[in-house]
Amino acid sequence: MANYDKYETPLGTRYASKEMMTIFSARERASTWRQLWVWLAEAEKELGLDISDSAIDQMRKHITVSDESFGVARAYEEKFRHDVMAHVHAFGEEAPSAAGSIHLGATSCYVTDNADLIFQKRALDLILPKLAKVIQNLQAFALEYKDLPALGFTHYQPAQLITVGKRATQWIQEFVMDLEDIETVRDRLQFRGAQGTTGSQATFLELFNGDADKIKQLNQILCKKAGFPSAYPISTQTYTRKVDLRVANAVCALGATAQRVCADIRHLANLKEMEEPFEKNQIGSSAMAYKRNPMRCERIASLGRKLARLPANFTATFETQWFERTLDDSAIRRMDIPEMFLLADAILLTLDNVTNGLVIYPNVIKSRINQELPFMATESILMKLASHGVSRQDAHEEIRVLSHQASAVVKQEGGKNDLLERIKKAEFFKPVWNDIDSLVDPALFIGNCPKIVEDYCNGEIEERLAKYKASLSGAATAQISL
């Protein structure tokens, strides 16, 4: 039951998934510390240290931290003012045979930093398929509407025609850039391992009687147990906070992409050309019952704004670390790392919902084209007249006059664009009267858009999504909390 008398982050209560919240939960954090202590003891025993089987067995049986053990740890922390040592003692009470072996040779960052790397790796593995699902949704959308002409916009002014599908491919390409960057930082993520209090490995060198090869073996064993390819070759007391910044630069850029795409959708909703999903009983406004506000895209924009700006925090944390470490990174990282992934997760959940249910209004799109296309078609009319021996300069002047008249009807009288009707009535244009309608077919003005969509979506995007085939085949559209 929710506690209504204390603050809870909306990311946890409204927006992010249960799976992402679990990764960054207090129980997962403390239990991962215990798992790291078990792995360390197992590796040290394998390399010859005197740690009993019964000690390791007791540790294994109590990896998941119970509610009671949290209470014990809390009491120890009040006494010691040190959260890691509080959990060392609490773990020792549940595994008394191992009390002298828990945390052997390690510094606090052995558990805190390695756990953070594990959490980031798991979180990256959780968001990548969700991002791939959004791309897949847009791929299907783009292919469905690859031939549907629509006004293009430059400077948010009507420009050459594109297709609805072509616009979606631009969104896809930007999300694919995020996918590539996030895949890259995921693949390059390494472990801290067991490096000692300043990264000198001195304590482990002492434990292994000066045998440096055993320290190398120790870290190889730990990396294998934790699922990392290797450990960072250089460490201080911590892994460099450049790692967090590197991850943040990739993950947080998703927030900028999400804002940009949803801004397009919100503008198109205003034009009544496209809408996000709107449920049967959904209320758009408490005051204006007729409204269909783009609340999902607005939520994404809001969360994206927050996510896109988090790298500044990671930058400041990295650049202000002194020498082998200072503790002013701790409190902010406890907030920023989980928040970064909870934000990304929440954005992707809502994006999945939006992109899987976009609604298109072809008649509105056609009507807007009809308001602008007569102006765009004048060049084709000029060329057709020239083929009948009419002076291009004379034709240009005639069209200029009629265009300004039609524009005045639209802008000053609020009427429809009647340029074509004017041309059909003007004797000057009689040689091409019968050609006018064929010259203003929107399909003639979309260029190579359909092929661009097909080539991109059936080529590069299909290849890009292939590695996510298993996760996408059974993926359902996210149900978002409102």
Helix, strand, coil percentages for the chain (3-state, nearest 5): 70, 5, 30
Q: Which residue has the higher pLDDT, 49 or 283?
A: 49
Spell out where 175-276 has E strands.
Answer: 274-275
Express as a percent the part of the chain with pLDDT over 90.
84
Question: Cα(173)–Cα(144) distance, rounded to whole angstroms?
Answer: 17
Residues 259 and 296 in one domain: yes
State which of 360, 393, 409 marks the end of a domain: 360
Residues 94 and 114 in one domain: no
Name residues whose C-beta falls within 8 Å of residue 117's C-beta, 6 or more positions apart in sequence: 189, 190, 191, 192, 228, 239, 243
Residues 141 and 74 in one domain: no
> For residue 45, what pLDDT band results from cuts at 50, 70 and 90?
very high
158-206 residue pLDDT tens: 999 999 999 999 999 999 999 999 999 999 999 999 999 999 999 999 9
Question: Cα(358)–Cα(376) distance, rounded to whole angstroms?
Answer: 28
**In this structure, are residues 37 and 56 in contact, taking their beta carbons and an 8 Å threshold?**
no
State which of 360, 388, 415 marks the end of a domain: 360
Residues 283 and 422 in one domain: no
Question: What's the pLDDT at 278?
Answer: 76
Question: Cα(465)–Cα(476) distance, rounded to whole angstroms?
Answer: 16
Let me know if residue 427 belongs to a domain: yes
Residues 344 and 404 in one domain: no
What sign does the CA torsion over 469, 471, 474, 475 have?
Answer: negative
Rg (CA), the chain: 31
Let me know if residue 453 belongs to a domain: no
State which of 325, 360, 395 marks the end of a domain: 360
Q: What is the pTM of this model?
A: 0.92
What sign does the CA torsion over 131, 132, 135, 136 have?
Answer: negative
Residues 42 and 169 in one domain: no
Question: Cα(219)–Cα(204) distance, rounded to whole angstroms?
Answer: 11
The pLDDT of residue 39 is above 70: yes
Question: Cα(47)–Cα(41) distance, rounded to whole angstroms?
Answer: 10
> For residue 284, what pLDDT band results from cuts at 50, 70 and 90?
low
Residues 88 and 122 in one domain: no
Question: Cα(173)–Cα(166) distance, rounded to whole angstroms?
Answer: 11
* Token duo for residue 354: 């939006």
**For 147-179, what is the HEC assignment?**
CCEEEEEECCEEEEEEEHHHHHHHHHHHHHHHH
Task: State the CATH number of the domain containing residue 248.
Answer: 1.20.200.10
Question: What's the pLDDT at 438?
Answer: 87
Let me know if residue 310 belongs to a domain: yes
Annotated catalytic residue 155: yes
Residues 321 and 174 in one domain: yes
**In this structure, are residues 347 and 308 in contact, taking their beta carbons and an 8 Å threshold?**
no
Full domain range(s) for residue 400: 378-439
Question: What's the pLDDT at 88?
Answer: 98
Let me know if residue 154 belongs to a domain: no
> For residue 383, what pLDDT band results from cuts at 50, 70 and 90?
confident
Let me know if residue 217 belongs to a domain: yes
238: which DSSP letter?
S
Annotated catalytic residue 54: no
Question: Cα(78)–Cα(73) distance, rounded to whole angstroms?
Answer: 9
Task: State the CATH number of the domain containing residue 85.
Answer: 1.10.275.10
What sign does the CA torsion over 443, 447, 453, 455 have?
Answer: positive
Question: What's the pLDDT at 1?
Answer: 45
Task: Give helix 330-355 / helix 242-270 axis angle, nearest 10°.
Answer: 30
Buried b (16+ CB within 10 A) or exposed e, 378-388: bebbbebbeee
Residues 66 and 115 in one domain: no
Q: What's the rounded mean pLDDT across residues 122-137?
A: 98
> For residue 369, what pLDDT band results from cuts at 50, 70 and 90?
very high
Question: Cα(479)–Cα(426) distance, rounded to whole angstroms?
Answer: 58
**In this structure, are residues 113 and 238 in contact, taking their beta carbons and an 8 Å threshold?**
yes
Task: State the CATH number of the domain containing residue 419.
Answer: 1.10.40
Q: Which residue has the higher pLDDT, 261 or 407?
A: 261
Please count the other Cβ atoms lying within 10 Å of the Cβ belonging to residue 75: 13
Least Cα distance to 333 among 178, 14, 120 occurs for 120
Residues 37 and 135 in one domain: no
Question: Exposed/middle/buried for 50, CB within 10 Å: 0-12, 13-18, 19+?
Answer: exposed
285-310 residue pLDDT tens: 666 766 678 899 999 999 999 999 99
* Token duo for residue 144: 């469905």
Question: What's the pLDDT at 197?
Answer: 94
Q: How many structural domains compose the chain?
A: 3
Let me know if residue 462 belongs to a domain: no
Residues 54 and 25 in one domain: yes
Least Cα distance to 340 among 375, 310, 374 occurs for 310
Q: What's the rounded mean pLDDT across residues 45-58?
A: 97
Least confident of 105-119, 312-326, 378-392: 378-392
Question: What's the pLDDT at 292?
Answer: 77
Question: What's the pLDDT at 477?
Answer: 61
221-253 residue pLDDT tens: 999 999 999 999 999 999 999 999 999 999 999
What is the pLDDT of the chain when averaged over all its residues?
94
Let me know if residue 482 belongs to a domain: no
* Token duo for residue 222: 């730990």
Let me know if residue 194 belongs to a domain: yes
* Token duo for residue 280: 């049967």
Question: Cα(239)–Cα(241) distance, rounded to whole angstroms?
Answer: 6
Express as a percent the part of the chain with pLDDT over 70.
95
Given 66, 230, 285, 302, the catalytic residue: 285
Residues 114 and 94 in one domain: no
Type of residue found at 353:
N
Question: What's the pLDDT at 135?
Answer: 98
Name residues whose C-beta falls within 8 Å of residue 160's C-beta, 6 or more positions apart in sequence: 152, 376, 445, 447
